[in-house]
Amino acid sequence: MADIPFLPYGRQSIDEGDIQAVVDVLRSDWVTTGPMVERFESSVASFVGAAHAVAVSSGTAALHAAMAAIGIGPEDEVILPPMTFVATANAIVYQGGTPVFVDVGEADLLIDPTLVEEKITPRTKAIIAVDYAGQPCDYDSLREIADKHGLYLISDACHSLGAEYRGRKVGTLADLTVFSFHPVKPITTGEGGMVVTDNPGLAERMRRFRNHGITTDHWKRSEKLTWSYEMTDLGYNYRLNDIQAALGVSQLAKLPSWILERQTFAAEYERKITRLSSVEPLFVRPEVSHGYHLYVVRAFSRAQVFQKLRHAGIGCTVHYPPVHLHPFYRQHLGTSEGICPVAEVAYRQILSLPVFPNMPPGSIDRILSIVSQVAGED
């Protein structure tokens, strides 16, 4: 077993071009927020078709900036699904707001729009849609609800950069769309994040927010030959640097081919999984182009499937424990089992199988032959 390399559930792809782009910045005059950050922002904005992009130091910082930009505060509630990474909810709490969990649909584990309206109160200010696994949510339904009640629609698209909904790219489907560039995400900058929007006012607030609440950044001041600056709001140091941004620009050029590669792997899984009775893929809605950040299945003897795969050096894992069941949220919000039953049942079954660009040939056969040993398959 020792000679078989460990196969992670996801990993970055970094080539010589990426390395050269980083080295070029290291040899230049600007290493922190400078011209390369602006270039990365305009590259992502034009790739998704958004007017503005604000790069920050992580997806979590991007979510926090989004919550601050729309003015979330102690009086406000924000609706979100529990089937997400904790950072989605934490960003609301950073601003003193209250996360309100709405269950997901059983087939795709995306926020169920038919359950949203009953959770809207006079304090509700926004809905965060999470494109779980890389599949865009039902944005037409969510938009209609948001407009009817005067709410912001935020997209946590940390999984879905490059995915599409009814022929429209993720990044154009919500008032603010948040991306992460953590190494397992669709593209990486090591750590990094971005928010895209068509709203110039929100973009300006987020630019200040990432830089201590100061109105102009150091690079802009140096360009304009002025020393003066003003801090107008309380902000943070959430800046991305030029070293990271150069990697991001280089990575973004490869994203379309990586999405196709992920979709090809998913199609292979789908085809071969139909022969097995122990696992079942999640439903993919026909109106989306899925980004397949994760390839998630329901496994009917999950503990057994998980153990067998892990023993064989295959890094399957579970995304996600429902956020409302974490000890912090149980204590902070008084949440418990029963408030989102679909997510809670799914959590006992789901398993993320490896999928990433340049996954070694034969990986899916290797994975599924192990899966097939469980539950009487042959």
Ligand X SMILES: *Cc1c(COP(=O)(O)O)cnc(C)c1O
Cis peptide before 236 (omega within 30 of 0): no
Is 110 a residue that touches ligand X (CB under 6 A)? no
- Judged by CB, which is closer to ligand X: 235, or 291? 291
Find the shortest distance in angstroms from Cβ 369 to ligand X. 29
Which two three-digit tokens encode residue 307? Answer: 């153990």
CA distance to 133, 192, 348, per residue, from 238 (Å) = 26, 9, 36
Is 159 a residue that touches ligand X (CB under 6 A)? yes
Site string for ligand X, 124-153 (x = CB under 6 A): ------x-----------------------
- Judged by CB under 6 A, the residue of 25, 89, 146, 158 near ligand X is 158
Residue 154: name the closest of 106, 210, 211, 97 by CA.
Answer: 97
Find the shortest distance in angstroms from Cβ 9 to ligand X. 13
Instruction: For strands 350-353 and 52-56, give the pairing.
Output: unpaired
Q: Which stretch binds ligand X (CB under 6 A): 28-36, 70-78, 156-164, 369-377?
A: 156-164
Site string for ligand X, 277-316 (x = CB under 6 A): ----------------------------------------
- Judged by CB under 6 A, the residue of 12, 33, 43, 58 near ligand X is 58
Which two three-digit tokens encode residue 313? Answer: 């050096």
Give first-to-last CA distance, the chain, whole Å: 21
Q: What share of the chain is helix, strand, coil (3-state, %, to 5)?
A: 40, 15, 45
- Judged by CB under 6 A, the residue of 59, 113, 162, 248 near ligand X is 59
Residue 279: name the closest of 267, 263, 296 by CA.
Answer: 296
Contact of 170 with 161, CB cutoff 8 Å:
yes
Site string for ligand X, 66-85 (x = CB under 6 A): ------------------xx
Find the shortest distance in angstroms from Cβ 57 to ligand X. 8
Residue with tokens 């009953």, as numbered in its chain: 118
Which two three-digit tokens encode residue 295? Answer: 């390839």
Annotated active-site residue 148? The verdict is no
Separation CA 349–CA 355 (nearest Å): 19
CA triple 234-238-244, angle to 5 deg: 160
- Judged by CB, which is closer to ligand X: 288, or 374? 288
Q: Which stretch binds ligand X (CB under 6 A): 9-17, 54-62, 254-262, 322-330?
A: 54-62
Find the shortest distance in angstroms from Cβ 131 to ligand X. 8
Q: Residue 238 is which amino acid?
A: Y
Is 33 a residue that touches ligand X (CB under 6 A)? no
Separation CA 173–CA 113 (nearest Å): 15
Q: Which stretch binds ligand X (CB under 6 A): 55-63, 167-175, 233-241, 254-262?
A: 55-63
Residues whose CB falls within 8 Å of the CB of residue 238, separated by 6 or more in sequence, listed in order: 56, 57, 58, 61, 64, 65, 209, 210, 211
Of the residues 169, 185, 272, 308, which is catalytic? 185
Question: In degrees to the nearest 10, what's the CA dihedral of 210, 215, 219, 225?
Answer: -170
- Judged by CB under 6 A, the residue of 12, 33, 43, 60 near ligand X is 60
Site string for ligand X, 168-187 (x = CB under 6 A): ------------x-x-----
Residue with tokens 């209609």, as numbered in its chain: 144
Residue nearest ligand X (C-beta atom): 59
User: How many Cβ atoms from other residues are within 10 Å of residue 374's Cβ?
Assistant: 22
Question: In degrees to the nearest 10, what's the CA dihedral of 298, 300, 305, 306?
Answer: 60
Q: Which stretch binds ligand X (CB under 6 A): 48-56, 103-111, 155-163, 296-304?
A: 155-163
- Judged by CB, which is closer to ligand X: 112, or 156? 156
- Judged by CB, which is closer to ligand X: 125, or 182? 182
- Judged by CB, which is closer to ligand X: 59, or 105? 59
Find the shortest distance in angstroms from Cβ 27 to ligand X. 27
Total residues in contact with ligand X, by rule CB under 6 A: 14
Enumerate binding residues for ligand X (CB under 6 A). 58-60, 84-85, 87-88, 130, 156, 158-159, 180, 182, 193
Which amino acids are annotated catalytic? 185
